[in-house]
């Protein structure tokens, strides 16, 4: 639909547009447009913000896993040097409710500061002072007295009769109906039909997002208007939450994003610390900065919840699946959030008889938050290992077994087809590029070391959709500006979106400035989550650029006295198909100089009716297991992805390799350890919680499989960020099984677990 057809609505929608058939800029390996700022230290992150008269804040957390705060004495803290304000759980403001994310319909309320503390680290007081050291020292000087309560840190124990209640009403989270239960066909018939059935219980550990940049906010009041600089995945979401909390109109709340050092889902909801910063700023009449410490991010800024997944799979003799069952139990922690793992059960493979049931339990631990493909890597850890086992049972190659079960349409929403599916190609071409057949049959014995290869697959719905609005400006010198509200979590969003402007207008990237993630000055964008930043916003940017181009051609047509349809735009100049002599540089457009700037507006159109846009992936891993030390080294890993069009080859590879790194941590080393006797996190640091380093990273290969999707949206791209981490851990576990003959069902496979597993196998003979 063109702007005119849109009938009075501002700007253009992209509905009728097809993705590019050929591109000059999009798809290239372009370095980040903000790369020099990032690596030189010039980039300003929330933590770097320094405002005149700004105060620094620190938080006091409850030391007990479950306790009632009976008394708090802040007199000494208030009299300490530099201290400007102290808020405690006994103040009236402490009763303010921090809204949960929109995907949690009706969890128990979270008060700003809590007297009934439900996890070790739960916030009970906050201090603002002239310096951070003063604030921290004063927080430590607050005398808090508690009545400790019995607590529970394990989901299964939390649901046992007589368990301590985290919330009144019991520890079973009221199910959000849209996720938790599903069935089709007849699982009893499925079991009867099967010639091979495998079942097992798989466990995953609690993981911490571990964004390089910690969570942080700076708040300032100007009269009744609140401005918050925030490390957030969605400035407009935070604006809404803050307006709700403070009873302000949206127009009185400005949220500014800017440079981010990662989010991974952990910065997708409003945290207490942001509200505390705003409240302390209001109390003191001065701007307040509150950044979490690394330790605090481990205790209270969210996690990927631990899951226990009971899986049963069955197949017919030809390898087609006839049974798929999953029972999941996840621990959300002290407040409701995502601990489900089921959705892929319904969609990843073709299977007539499917059932999954999920339960989520409250525990006295830090709360879960969305984390890179919530639930999906946990599902893959269980089901993708079970499929591997089933392949072994049937004597079918694991790649072939998956190929025999590739769905050709949705089974969750019967009758709906996919805009494209490169799933089979990911499996086939991935296997080919990895050298699967050869590697699979190579000798596994290398003295005390053993080698093996394994693979796993995944799907993800990152279709995105409206709303999104973008503005593209063209200045009289031919340079351009892009204005979008989207956050750039560090993924390269700014660069990818600018490349679309460059593609459409022929303006070089270094002449395009990007303004983004500011509710006061940029256009509406949804939360950057669900791998939808590109699929939400790129079509709006393309529509805006085309709106700007249309206007440029009209101005040029007027000046040249020709029809706009005879003109085309490229390399900063407008040329005529009819008269090659009629050529105008954008900088020669008189009307543009007179009007000062030209503004193109674009909006995200709707997705096609009756179609689903999924991303697909297959990861292939080769590992070496040292049977003396229990250490697993991933030697190489190939990631084949159908995420539609590659928008920028460098940031695409970045996303994939980052996802793989997280997956390797999931498989081998990352585990938040909570002491069952004290309920405290024992390893709240990167010293003791092992994120993979460059030393643990394998030789990496990324194989983009582009099905040439003409339907998903107007740029042809599908979601990438999350699929990149879904199958990795399962592929590594399958490789470990191939190397050792032992199936490891408890992630991560630490050296201790590995040696235990080997010992058990030797004991069993
Ligand atoms: Mo993501 S876990 O949807 O931010």
Angle at 64 between CA 62 and CA 69, to 5 degrees: 55
Average pLDDT, the chain: 95
CB 370 near ligand 1, within 6 Å: yes
Atom number, ligand 1, closest to the C-alpha of residue 370: 2
Residue 401 has pLDDT above 90, yes or no: yes
Could you check whether the bond before residue 748 is cis, i.e. omega within 30 degrees of 0?
yes
Mutating to test ligand 1, I would choose from 489, 658, 722 the residue with most ligand atoms within 8 A of its C-beta, which is: 722
Query: pLDDT for 427-464, tens place per residue?
Result: 999 999 999 999 999 999 999 999 999 999 999 999 99
Q: How confident is the model at residue 179, as a pLDDT?
A: 62
CB 428 near ligand 1, within 6 Å: no
Confidence class for position 254, pLDDT limits 50, 70, 90:
very high
Q: Atom 4 of ligand 1 has which residue's CA nearest to it?
A: 265
Q: How confident is the model at residue 177, as a pLDDT?
A: 52
CB 530 near ligand 1, within 6 Å: yes
Confidence class for position 760, pLDDT limits 50, 70, 90:
very high
Q: How confident is the model at residue 3, as a pLDDT?
A: 35
Work out the average pLDDT over 391-402.
Answer: 98
CB 262 near ligand 1, within 6 Å: no
Q: How confident is the model at residue 104, as a pLDDT?
A: 84
Mutating to test ligand 1, I would choose from 211, 269, 529, 532 the residue with most ligand atoms within 8 A of its C-beta, which is: 529
Work out the average pLDDT over 80-104.
Answer: 95
Q: How confident is the model at residue 6, as a pLDDT?
A: 36
346-357 CB burial, b ≥16 within 10 A, e <16: bbbbebbbbbbb
CB 398 near ligand 1, within 6 Å: no
CB 374 near ligand 1, within 6 Å: yes
Q: How confident is the model at residue 178, as a pLDDT?
A: 54
User: What is the token pair recorded at 615?
Assistant: 């991303």
CA proximity to 219, closest of 452, 56, 98: 56
| Cα of 528 from ligand 1 centre, angstroms | 7
Rounded to whole angstroms, the Cα distance separating 125 from 242 reads 20
Residue 11 has pLDDT above 60, yes or no: no
CA proximity to 125, closest of 83, 164, 167, 168: 83
Residue 5 has pLDDT above 80, yes or no: no
Rounded to whole angstroms, the Cα distance separating 333 from 303 reads 9
Work out the average pLDDT over 132-137.
Answer: 98
Name the least confident of 540-549, 566-575, 678-687.
566-575
* Neighbour order of strands in the sheet with 288-291: 83-88, 123-129, 55-61, 288-291, 216-222, 225-230, 253-256
Query: pLDDT for 698-707, tens place per residue?
Result: 999 999 999 9
Confidence class for position 7, pLDDT limits 50, 70, 90:
very low
Query: pLDDT for 278-317, tens place per residue?
Result: 999 999 999 999 999 999 999 999 999 999 999 999 999 9
Residue 105 has pLDDT above 90, yes or no: no
Mutating to test ligand 1, I would choose from 265, 338, 662 the residue with most ligand atoms within 8 A of its C-beta, which is: 265
More confident residue, 763 or 765: 763
Rounded to whole angstroms, the Cα distance separating 643 from 532 reads 11
Work out the average pLDDT over 520-536.
Answer: 98
Residue 90 has pLDDT above 50, yes or no: yes
User: What is the token pair recorded at 739?
Assistant: 């190397």
Query: pLDDT for 174-187, tens place per residue?
Result: 865 556 789 999 99
Atom number, ligand 1, closest to the C-alpha of residue 530: 3
With a CB cutoff of 8 Å and minimum separation 6, the contacts of 239 are: 250, 253, 254, 255, 519
Rounded to whole angstroms, the Cα distance separating 687 from 666 reads 16
CB 715 near ligand 1, within 6 Å: no
| Cα of 722 from ligand 1 centre, angstroms | 8
Atom number, ligand 1, closest to the C-alpha of residue 527: 4
Atom number, ligand 1, closest to the C-alpha of residue 489: 4
Q: How confident is the model at residue 462, as a pLDDT?
A: 96
CB 302 near ligand 1, within 6 Å: no
Name the least confident of 96-110, 114-128, 497-511, 625-639.
96-110
Work out the average pLDDT over 364-391.
Answer: 98
Q: How confident is the model at residue 180, as a pLDDT?
A: 79
User: What is the token pair recorded at 99?
Assistant: 């809204």
Q: How confident is the model at residue 8, as a pLDDT?
A: 36
Q: How far is CA 174 from CA 170, 359, 427, 464, in A?
A: 10, 9, 38, 28
Atom number, ligand 1, closest to the C-alpha of residue 372: 2
CB 190 near ligand 1, within 6 Å: no
Q: How confident is the model at residue 176, as a pLDDT?
A: 58
Work out the average pLDDT over 363-387.
Answer: 98
User: What is the token pair recorded at 691?
Assistant: 């994120």
- pTM greater than the 0.85 cutoff: yes
Query: pLDDT for 546-605, tens place per residue?
Result: 999 999 999 999 999 999 999 999 888 999 988 888 889 999 999 999 999 999 999 999
| Cα of 495 from ligand 1 centre, angstroms | 20
| Cα of 177 from ligand 1 centre, angstroms | 20
Rounded to whole angstroms, the Cα distance separating 458 from 661 reads 16
CB 268 near ligand 1, within 6 Å: yes
| Cα of 224 from ligand 1 centre, angstroms | 32
Could you check whether the bond before residue 467 is cis, i.e. omega within 30 degrees of 0?
yes
Q: How confident is the model at residue 4, as a pLDDT?
A: 35
Query: pLDDT for 138-184, tens place per residue?
Result: 999 999 999 999 999 999 999 999 999 999 989 999 865 556 789 99
CB 489 near ligand 1, within 6 Å: no
Mutating to test ligand 1, I would choose from 369, 463, 530 the residue with most ligand atoms within 8 A of its C-beta, which is: 530
Query: pLDDT for 66-88, tens place per residue?
Result: 999 999 999 999 999 999 999 99
Atom number, ligand 1, closest to the C-alpha of residue 267: 4
CA proximity to 290, closest of 273, 270, 275, 304: 273
Residues known to be catalytic: 722
User: What is the token pair recorded at 487?
Assistant: 């956050």
Q: What percent of the chain has pLDDT over 70?
A: 97
């Amino acid at each position: 639909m063109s702007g005119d057809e849109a009938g009075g609505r501002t700007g253009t929608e992209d509905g009728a547009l097809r993705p590019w058939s050929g591109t000059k800029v999009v798809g290239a390996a372009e370095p980040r447009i903000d790369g020099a700022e990032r690596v030189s230290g010039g980039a300003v992150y929330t933590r770097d913000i320094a405002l005149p008269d700004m105060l620094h804040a620190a938080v006091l957390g409850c030391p007990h896993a479950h306790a009632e705060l009976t008394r708090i004495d802040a007199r000494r803290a208030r009299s300490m040097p530099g201290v400007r304000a102290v808020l405690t759980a006994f103040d009236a403001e402490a009763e303010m409710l921090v809204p949960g994310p929109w995907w949690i319909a009706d969890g128990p309320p979270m008060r700003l500061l809590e007297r009934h503390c439900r996890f070790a680290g739960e916030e009970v007081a906050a201090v603002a002072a002239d310096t951070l050291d003063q604030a921290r020292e004063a927080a430590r000087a607050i005398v808090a007295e508690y009545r400790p309560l019995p607590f529970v840190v394990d989901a299964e124990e939390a649901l046992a009769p007589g368990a301590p209640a985290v919330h009144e009403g019991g520890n079973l989270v009221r199910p959000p109906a849209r996720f938790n239960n599903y069935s089709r066909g007849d699982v009893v018939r499925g079991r009867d039909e099967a010639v091979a059935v495998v079942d097992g219980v798989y466990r995953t550990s609690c993981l911490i997002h571990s964004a390089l940049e910690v969570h942080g906010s700076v708040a300032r009041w100007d009269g009744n208007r609140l401005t918050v600089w925030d490390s957030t995945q969605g400035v407009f979401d935070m604006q809404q939450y803050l307006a709700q909390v403070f009873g302000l109109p949206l127009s009185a709340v400005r949220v500014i994003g800017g440079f981010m050092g990662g989010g991974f889902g952990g910065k997708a909801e409003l945290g207490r610390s942001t509200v505390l910063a705003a409240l302390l700023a209001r109390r003191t009449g001065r701007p307040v900065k509150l950044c979490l410490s690394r330790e605090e991010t481990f205790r209270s800024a969210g996690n990927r919840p631990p899951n226990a997944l009971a899986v049963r799979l069955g197949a017919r003799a030809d390898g087609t699946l006839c049974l798929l069952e999953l029972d999941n139990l996840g621990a959300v922690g002290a407040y409701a959030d995502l601990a489900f793992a089921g959705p892929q059960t319904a969609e990843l493979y073709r299977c007539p008889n499917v059932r999954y049931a999920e339960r989520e339990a409250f525990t006295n631990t830090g709360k879960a938050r969305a984390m890179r493909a919530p639930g999906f890597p946990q599902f893959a850890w269980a089901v993708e290992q079970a499929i591997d086992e089933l392949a072994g049972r049937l004597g079918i190659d694991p790649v072939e077994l998956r190929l025999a079960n590739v769905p050709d349409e949705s089974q969750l929403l019967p009758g709906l087809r996919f805009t494209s599916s490169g799933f089979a190609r990911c499996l086939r071409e991935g296997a080919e590029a990895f050298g699967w057949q050869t590697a699979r049959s190579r000798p596994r014995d290398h003295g005390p070391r053993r080698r093996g290869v394994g693979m796993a697959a995944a799907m993800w719905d990152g279709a995105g959709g409206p709303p999104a609005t973008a503005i593209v400006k063209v200045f009289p010198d031919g340079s351009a500006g892009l204005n979008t509200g989207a956050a750039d979590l560090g993924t390269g969003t700014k660069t990818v979106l600018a490349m679309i402007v460059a593609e459409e207008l022929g303006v070089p990237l270094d002449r395009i400035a990007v303004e983004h993630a500011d509710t006061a000055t940029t256009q509406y964008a949804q939360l950057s989550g669900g791998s939808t930043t590109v699929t939400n916003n790129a079509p709006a940017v393309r529509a805006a650029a085309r709106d700007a181009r249309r206007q440029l051609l009209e101005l040029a047509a007027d000046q040249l006295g020709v029809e706009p349809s005879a003109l085309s735009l490229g390399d900063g100049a407008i040329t005529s198909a009819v008269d090659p002599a009629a050529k105008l540089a954008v900088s020669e457009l008189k009307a543009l100089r007179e009007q000062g700037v030209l503004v193109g507006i674009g909006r995200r159109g709707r997705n096609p009716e009756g179609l689903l846009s999924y991303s697909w992936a297959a990861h292939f891993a080769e590992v070496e297991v040292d049977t003396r030390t229990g250490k697993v080294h991933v030697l190489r890993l190939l990631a084949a992805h159908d995420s539609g069009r590659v928008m920028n080859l460098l940031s695409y590879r970045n996303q994939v390799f980052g996802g793989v790194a997280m997956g390797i941590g999931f498989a081998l080393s990352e585990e938040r350890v909570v002491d069952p006797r004290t309920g405290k996190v024992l390893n709240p640091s990167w010293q003791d919680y092992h994120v993979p380093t460059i030393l643990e990273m394998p030789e990496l290969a990324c194989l983009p499989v582009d099905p040439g999707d003409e339907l998903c949206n107007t740029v042809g791209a599908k979601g990438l960020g999350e699929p990149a981490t879904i199958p990795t851990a399962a592929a590594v576990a399958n490789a470990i099984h191939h190397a050792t003959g032992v199936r490891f069902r408890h992630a991560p496979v630490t050296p201790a677990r590995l040696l235990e597993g080997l010992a058990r196998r030797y004991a069993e003979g």
